Structure 1
Amino acid sequence: MSKKKLSKKGKRNRFLALSILVLLFLLLVFNLGRSFSKNDKKERHSMTTESSITSSSSTSTSTSTTKESAIDWRAPSQTKAYPTLQTGDWVLVSTKKQRVYVKRGEQVLYTMYCSTGTNDSPTPLGTYSVEAERGENFYNAASAEGANYWVSFKDHGIYLFHSVPVDQNGQYIESEAKHLGVTANSHGCVRLSVADAKWFYEHALYGMKVVIE
């Protein structure tokens, strides 16, 4: 075979080898591009999910704050009129729900927001009754708090229904009042809104059953 024919054959082989290398390089670039695209999509999905979680958390916090601020601790708990109490009506205090239910048998006549005792100073659970002691206001120097419209239900002046707390000047302590209906935050008494406490002070029947659970 002549040198000329060998030279042509060698050129074809080199061209073929070069073509294969170029093809392999293009395939490598294509695969790398797809890999980066998948990772980018995963990252975007992760960021979207994280953003969604953050947004959900913010909404939850906002809802919680709204729930707390929506309670008017000066006003009646419900828009309907207070009931006219009769002999046999009774009161159920739920320390879990932070609510006071005025009941006639099993019928709920009226529901009031409340704040009961903390874990360190709990409201005693059990069955009691409205006692004779009641008054328009008091102040306890030891706790630096007082209240208006109090009605005793245990130990004759120790455990009371009363309004949200006041300071030594008779001004309502708003930082304490905001816990009404939301958090157990008293020293053992049952705190009510100003309007609810006034109504209960004026209308609670002596001997009326009080169940705290």
Structure 2
Amino acid sequence: MTLKVKHWLYAIFCLLVVGTVLTHRVHTLRAQKARIARQAKIKRSRHQAAKRRAVVAQRNANMRTPINWRKSSETIPYPDLKQAKNLWVKVCLKKNRTYVYDGKHIIYTMYCTGGIYQRDDKTGKMKSLTPTGTYHIQNERGDHFYNAQLNEGANYYVSWLDHGKYLFHSVPTVGNGKYNKTEAAKLGKTQGSHGCVRLSVPDARWFFRNVPVGTKIVVTN
């Protein structure tokens, strides 16, 4: 083997060694970069989770306890809904809560009472008398209504389905216009209506005066 050939072989060997080292270095840097990215993602997720927990804790701290159907659900002032860019309302039947949203953010929480649960003849499952789904606030609203057949009425009603059949309204009243204290005591604790969503008296009045026609309503179990 000539000296020239040896030099070429040595040069090729050096290139292979350098290439291997560089390849290993590139893989190492990529692995480090991926690890740093994962750690940053985990850190962001933990930070966001902590922030959400803090928001929930603050929101829970604002809730009035014990529940009082004569007072607002939260101890802070009602939000100015005219400032909301994407106003919508979510009713959670089993939680007995109604949430007012601006986009993804809850801006007010109200104790509520939805429809009682009965066994569905077709499915055999328990189903609320309050229909679930997505609806919108309708034109019908008023200070008071009374259903003589049920001997039950309410104040500050707002329709969200079937034009006056399914409503947001105050805790129920009886024939003489006085509040039914037995039914009012269910607010925020259990279901009890024939399908409407009951709110505390101040919450119902605020809702009646401020939530505009067309506002999206999402009712969930």
1:159 aligns with 2:157: no
Shift of 1:119: 1.4
| Rg larger for | 1
Q: Give the aligned length.
A: 145
8 A contact 1:115–1:185 mirrored in 2? yes
Partner residue of 2:133 out of 102, 126, 135:
126
* Partner Cα distance (1:148, 1:136) in 2: 5
Q: Which residue is equivalent to 2:72?
A: 76
TM-score, normalisation: structure 2: 0.64
The one-letter amino acid of 1:157's match is G
CA distance in structure 2 between the aligned counterparts of 1:96 and 1:191, rounded to whole angstroms: 13
Aligned CA RMSD, in angstroms, stands at 1.2
The aligned counterpart of 1:92 is 90
Q: Secondary structure at the match of 1:93?
A: strand
1:189 and 2:196 correspond: yes
What is the CA-CA distance between 1:87 and the residue it aligns to?
Answer: 5.0
Contact 1:116 1:190 in 2 (8 A): yes
Question: 2:176 aligned to 169, 172, 180, which one?
Answer: 169
State whether residues 87 and 205 of structure 1, in contact with CA within 8 Å, keep that contact through their aligned partners in structure 2. Answer: no
In the alignment, is the contact (CA less than 8 A) between 2:85 and 2:102 conserved in 1? no
| Percent identity (aligned) | 53
TM-score, scaled to structure 1: 0.66
Gap regions ≥5 residues in structure 2: 1-64, 119-127
**Any idea what the Cα deviations from partners look like across 1:33-59, whole Å, max 9, x if unmatched?**
xxxxxxxxxxxxxxxxxxxxxxxxxxx
Give every structure 1 segment of 4 or more consecutive aligned residues whose post-TM-superposition deviation is greater than 4 Å: none
Name the SS for the 1:197 alignment partner. helix
Q: Please give the alpha-carbon distance, in whole angstroms, between the structure 2 residues aligned to 1:102 and 1:73.
A: 18
Contact residue 85 and residue 103 of structure 2 kept, 8 A: no
Gaps of 5+ in 1: 1-68
After TM superposition, give the deviation of residue 88 of structure 1 in Å.
2.4
Residue equivalent to 1:13: none
In the TM superposition, residue 70 of structure 1 has moved relative to its aligned partner by 1.9
Name the aligned partner's letter for residue 156 of structure 2. Answer: Y
Does residue 1:138 correspond to 2:134, yes or no?
no
- Report which stretch shifted further, 104-113 or 81-90: 81-90
d(CA) in 2 for partners of 1:167 and 1:77?
23
Asked if 1:198 is matched to 2:205, the reply is yes
The question of whether the paired residues in 2 share the 8 Å contact of 1:76 and 1:196 is answered with yes
Q: Distance in 2 between matches of 1:184 and 1:167?
A: 18
Contact 2:86 2:101 in 1 (8 A): no
- Conserved 8 A contact 1:151-1:162: yes
Aligned to 1:178: 185
CA contact (8 A) 1:88 1:208 kept: no
Q: Aligned partners of 1:130 and 1:82: how far apart in 2?
A: 19
2:217 to 193, 210, 213: 210
1:90 and 1:142 map into 2 onto residues whose CA distance is 33
